[in-house]
Every structure is written in C-alpha cells, then in structure tokens.
Structure 1
C-alpha cells in the first residue's frame, strides 16, 4: 500500500461517504487530521500514522478485512444472485464498503465455516490446489459407515465423472442404524474442494449425506459462539495462522 493517499479515497474505502459527501463534510468542519480541521478532502495523508476523525469519531483504517461466517442453509456462496440471498447479504452494513467475497464456496444446503475477504492474494493461496489446504466437515450419513469406508477414503475414491480424489481422513463419531432411523455421524478431512465433493465421495461408496457442515479450513476453526448467519472479524492470531499457509 502507498504510504500516503487522498483522504477522500481512504474515507470512501472505509464506507464513510462518497467523494462529494466527504467534500461537504470537510466544508462543514466535520473532518480532522492530527487535530487540525480539514479544508480539502483531497489532501494526502498516511492512514497508518495520521489520526483521522469524522464527526468526532476516530477512523481506524483497514486495507483488507477478514470475516468468519457461520453460513446457514438456504443462502448461496456468492456476492450477488438473481434468485437467492447471498452470504454477502447477511453481513453487517459496516462491511459493505470493502467489497468482500467468499473464499471458495459452500453448497446452498451446507452450513458452517466460510471466510469472506477482499484480500485476493490470501484467497488465492487458500484455494490453490498446490497448497493442499485441509478442510474438515461434520456430516450425517445414511446409514451405517464402517471400516471399509474409512479404507476407501484413505485411498481416494472415484467420483461420478471419473475424477479420482486425493486421500481423505474419515472418522466415525457415531454409528447409525437404519432400523432405528438414525444416521451415522462422521468427520471427514479432505485436501480438495471439488463441486459437491463430500456428498459425491459418499455416493461413490453407496451412501447419502443428509446434513453437512464445514468446521475448519486449514488452521481456521469455526467459532462455536457464532450462531447460524452470524459473522465476526478474524482475530490477529487467526489471521497470522492463515497467512502461514502461504509459506
């Protein structure tokens, strides 16, 4: 990032107003930089060093933003859609100016961890097939899941289009029973993100996923305090752990 930028560009990026609105704010005496009233909203400032206030409120500059969401069912992993609500529609208004996008996608009927950001470089690294970033899912599967499935996934399975998956780690949390109408509960860690991959992997071994939730992506774990549809910014520790994927 350039050390100095136009003040109106910085404030516009932060969602405080359009350039014309900021020009009017400056004329009304509402904007201060380092304690001095701003007359020209186009002045050059250093957003990481200079103290900026608007209407008495300090402005903390962020070039990039990183948001964890607990995605609910029924919304699509996109920035816009003509038919359905998107994950971006669920975000608080304070994030609107950052033009965030989902890193990868979760199916419309899949819940759980979704990262949204405007940092294209980080997103690219997390999604790069060369990085083999692990993703872990919790699923309910009809019906019994056993050692044969664990062994099959550990070798990789052939999907319906002939694609052979990388090995996955399947863990059985609770064995289901068709007679009792209870699905099995499992966790599956995979290194890829093919379309409907978890569901198609189970289809390859003759089973059906009836509920799916992503619980981790690389070192990032879904915050158990986030209710469905809620989101929060990543902590510095979470962000540093994600950035380590680049190395």
Structure 2
C-alpha cells in the first residue's frame, strides 16, 4: 500500500460516496484533516497518520476487510448474477463498498460459514490445493452411516467421474433407525471438488439432505450469527487463518 493517497479516493473507499459526491462535501467544508478544513479533494494524505472527519464523524480507513457470514439457503456464492440473489446482496452499505468477494463457495442449498474479503492473497492461500486447508461440514444423511463408511472415507472414495478423493475424517454423531434411517455426521475434507460432500456420500449409496459448513482452517462458524447474518473477524480469528495458511 502506498504511504499516501488522494483524499477523495480514500473517502470513496470508506463509503462516503462517489468522487463527485466527495468533491461536494469538501466544497461545503464538511471534511477536516487533522482539525483543518480541507478545500482540495485531491489532497495527498497518509491514512495511517492523518486524522480525518466528515461532518464530525471520524473516518476509519481499512485496506482489507474480512467478513464471516452464516450463509442461508437460496443465495449463491458469487459477486453478481442476472437471475439469482447473491451473498453480496445480503451485505449492508457499511461493508458493500469494499468490493468483497467470497473466498470459496457454498452450493445454493448449503448453509453455514462463508468468508468474504477483498484480500486476494489470503483468499488464494485458503483455496490453494497445495495448502490442503481443512473444511468441516455438518450433514444429515438419508441412510445408516456405518463404521465401514468411516473407513472408506479415511481411504478416499471414488467419485462418479472416477476421481479418488483425499482421505476424509468422518465422525458419526447420531443414527436414527427406522423405516427411513437418518444419520447426523461431521466430515472434514482437505480439497474442494464440485459438490464433493454430496458426491462422497453418493459413492457409498447415501443421500445428503442437509449440509452446513461449520469451519474452514482455524475459523469456526459463530453460532450466534443468524442465517444471513455477518460480522467482521476478530483479530484472533484473522491471525489464526493467516498463520494456518503460511
């Protein structure tokens, strides 16, 4: 990041409007830098040192932002789509101007942990196949999940296209017997093939009927977040993610 940048660019980045709107703010004396009214919207300022206020409100500059979302069903993990609602449509204006994108994807009918950021380097490290960052899912599965399935997942299973997965860690939480058995499980995988969890269970003749991602690397879903809710990562959460992808 450059040590200094234009005032209007910084204010646009922090959500104060377009360049032309910011020019109007400056013209009417609404912008102060270090306590002095500014008359030039192109003024070079240091965001780490200079104190900026707009209409009396302090401006907090961030180069990067990291958002944890509890993704609901029915929205897609994309930045834009002409037909479907995207996860970006769930964001308010306080973060929308940062131009974040999903670090990875969840299927339209899958819920749970999704990281949104504008930090391309971190996103790349999280998603790099060479890093093998673990992702854990909670799932409800039609059929009786057995210890044989646990062993099969541990070895890696052959998907419908012939690909053999890396070993997965399958934990059986509960099995409800009956005419239509239902199993509750957690599964940790270290890759991200298309519909991978669903296809792994298809490989052992079972059907995933509910899927939720609960962790990615060291980052765990905040269960206080309602579906569609989001918040910024804490410093400890961000440090854990970065340390885990070095």
TM-score, length-normalised on structure 1?
0.98
Which whole-Å CA distance do the structure 2 matches of 1:194 and 1:178 have between them?
A: 32
8 Å CA contact 1:170–1:188 kept in 2: the answer is: yes
Q: Distance in 1 between matches of 2:35 and 2:138?
A: 52
Structure 2 residue 212 is matched with structure 1 residue 213? yes
Alignment of 1:85-234 (within 5 A): 85-179=85-179, 181-234=180-233
* Aligned counterparts of 1:246 and 1:135: Cα–Cα separation in 2: 13
Q: Residue by residue, what CA displacement relative to the aligned partner does 1:136-169 show, whole Å, maximum 9, x if unpaired?
A: 0000001100100000000000000011100000
- Alpha-carbon separation, structure 2, partners of 1:184 and 1:174: 6
Q: Is the 8 Å Cα contact of residues 7 and 41 (structure 1) preserved in structure 2?
A: yes
Match of 1:18 in 2: 18
- Could you list the per-position Cα deviations for residues 168-226 of structure 1 after superposition, in whole angstroms to 9, with x for gaps in the alignment? 000000013242x4510000000011100000000001100000000000000000100
Preserved contact between residue 133 and residue 245 of structure 2 (Cα < 8 Å): no
**Runs ≥4 residues deviating over 2 A:** none
Contact 1:125 1:245 in 2 (8 A): no
Query: d(CA) in 1 for partners of 2:111 and 2:178?
Result: 24
**Distance in 2 (alpha carbons) for counterparts of 1:201 and 1:246:** 25
Question: SS of 1:212's equivalent?
Answer: strand
Cα pair 2:156 2:167 within 8 Å, conserved: yes
Mapped to 1, the partners of 2:245 and 2:45 lie a distance apart of 31
Please give the alpha-carbon distance, in whole angstroms, between the structure 2 residues aligned to 1:203 and 1:246. Answer: 31
* CA distance in structure 1 between the aligned counterparts of 2:217 and 2:154, rounded to whole angstroms: 19
Which stretches in structure 2 are left out of the alignment for 5+ residues? none
Query: Number of aligned pairs?
Result: 246
Unmatched segments (≥5 aa) in structure 1: none
Which is worse superposed, 87-96 or 212-221?
87-96
Distance in structure 1 (CA, Å) of the matches to 2:10 and 2:140: 47
Distance 2:223 2:193 in 1: 26
The yes-or-no answer on 1:46 pairing with 2:71 is no
Matches of 1:135 and 1:41, distance apart in 2:
45
Counterpart CA distance in 2 for 1:178 and 1:121 is: 49
2:66 is matched with 66
**C-alpha distance in 2 between matches for 1:237 and 1:60:** 20
